[in-house]
Amino acid sequence: MKTVDIISFAWKNMKQKRTQSLLTIVGIVIGIVAIVSLVSLGYGVQNYIQDETAKLGANKIQIFPMKQFGTPPTKLFRDKEIKAIKNIRGVDEVLYGWYSGVNVEYGGEKYFVNIFYAKPSLQKSVYSDVGGYGIEKGRWLSDNDNYKCIVGYGIAHNLFKKELDVGDSIYINGKKFKIVGIMTQVGNQQDDNMVMIPMSSGEELFNKKGEYNFIVVKIKEGADIKKISEDIKDALEKSMGTDNFSVLTAEQMAKSIGGILGVLTMFVAGVAGISLLVGAVGISNTMHMSILERRKDIGILKALGAETTTILSIFVVEAGFLGLLGGIVGLIIGIGIAKLVEIIAQNMGYGMIQAWISWELAVGVLGFSFIVGVISGYFPARSGAKLNPIETLRGE
């Protein structure tokens, strides 16, 4: 029997039992929907973070007082570490300060947001050439400013019932700060819901004189960033007496965060894959019932000279079609859900939540669903293909 005939025969068998076929692919659809939506959103966020990190620039190095993100630092940076970094050949400027959370109050409303303080002139110099970090209205902070601030786009436009403007005053941990600038929208809540204040005001507010948990190093044009990165590690380890810190270039930062998100995405997708297992069992059960119902048809085909491999191929292709149809429907619904989540998230100010849609995702999902169908239908099909034609024609 020709391949075209096998496919045609399998397709007709499936069409004759539409209700049973539809119910069978539901499990596949649910599994594929979960996998597509989760993988799409997971890799979308991963790509966004990598792009945003890359915007920091190839000429910048970020330094944190911990090896793993999310773990508390055992030792903070001090002025001697800043001096050690400044003395390294190839270093242009060193931005250092404190990044934390704080209560912000305006018009009787109070919210917890991010805050960052550093020397204003360095802040402007380091971030002025970074994509996405700009001033929408007003100005950057100056070194002479005291108890003045710049607020992120989200704080100014979305956080409070009444929008903030340049000249308005907010209360940070009970202290009054005048707004001199509003930042452009970056696209993520971390930056859009951030307040920047001068170092002098920040050290008074947090009582953190001479202690820093965040450093950005800007290197000179043409300098070897990898060598400088290694020199910084050596200088900090010598100055601090520990290696419990991270020195990351923009490329390393993107890879580090991307690796963490990639593992999480695969883990969640793996959990969602349990639904596919249910769908595979459904296909296997359907194929088993189909073989029992068509024992005489199998006997007739064998009596007419059909080989065992031909019978096996018919049922395996049918099972593959069930998996493929489930994959197509699941892919469409999964992409739709991912895009819907993206739209809702972006309307709420979470620009980092994006749906990643590509031909690799589509081809991979469809191929995977077809293989799941084939494997699920193989063993029932093999038992059906081995039936004795004489016994099947007798109805035994």
- Report the 10 Å Cβ neighbour count for 276: 25
- Domain boundary assignment for the chain: 3-52+256-393, 75-243
Nearest to 286 by CA among 35, 16, 3, 32: 16
The three-class DSSP label of residue 176 is: strand
| Whole-number percent of the chain with pLDDT over 90 | 12
Question: Which token pair is 384?
Answer: 């059906």
pLDDT above 60 for 84: yes
Look at residue 275 in the predicted model and tell me its pLDDT: 63
Region 55-81: what's the mean pLDDT?
Answer: 78
Give phi and psi for 49, each to the nearest 5: -65, -40
Look at residue 7 in the predicted model and tell me its pLDDT: 65
Look at residue 352 in the predicted model and tell me its pLDDT: 66
Whats the size of the chain, residue-wise? 396
Confidence of residue 205 (pLDDT cuts 50, 70, 90): confident
Angle, CA 154 vertex, CA 152 and CA 155 arms, to 5° = 70
Region 29-57: what's the mean pLDDT?
Answer: 74
Higher pLDDT, 274 or 65: 65
Confidence of residue 121 (pLDDT cuts 50, 70, 90): confident
Look at residue 158 in the predicted model and tell me its pLDDT: 86
Identify the burial level of 241 via C-beta atoms within 10 angstroms of its C-beta, where 0-12 means exposed, 13-18 middle and 19 or more buried: exposed
Higher pLDDT, 18 or 87: 87
Region 80-94: what's the mean pLDDT?
Answer: 89
Rounded Cα distance between 133 and 1, Å, is 66
Give phi and psi for 82, each to the nearest 5: -60, -45
- Least confident piece of the model among 174-183, 233-242, 355-364, 381-390: 381-390
Give phi and psi for 351, each to the nearest 5: -65, -20
- The answer to whether 338 touches 40, Cβ cutoff 8 Å, is yes
Region 266-279: what's the mean pLDDT?
Answer: 66
- Report the 10 Å Cβ neighbour count for 11: 13
Look at residue 149 in the predicted model and tell me its pLDDT: 92
- The answer to whether 180 touches 143, Cβ cutoff 8 Å, is no
Confidence of residue 130 (pLDDT cuts 50, 70, 90): low
Q: Residue 162: CA atoms inside 13 Å, Cβ hemisphere, count?
A: 10
Region 365-387: what's the mean pLDDT?
Answer: 75
- Least confident piece of the model among 85-94, 237-246, 292-301, 317-326: 292-301
Please state whether the predicted TM-score (pTM) of the whole model is above 0.75. no
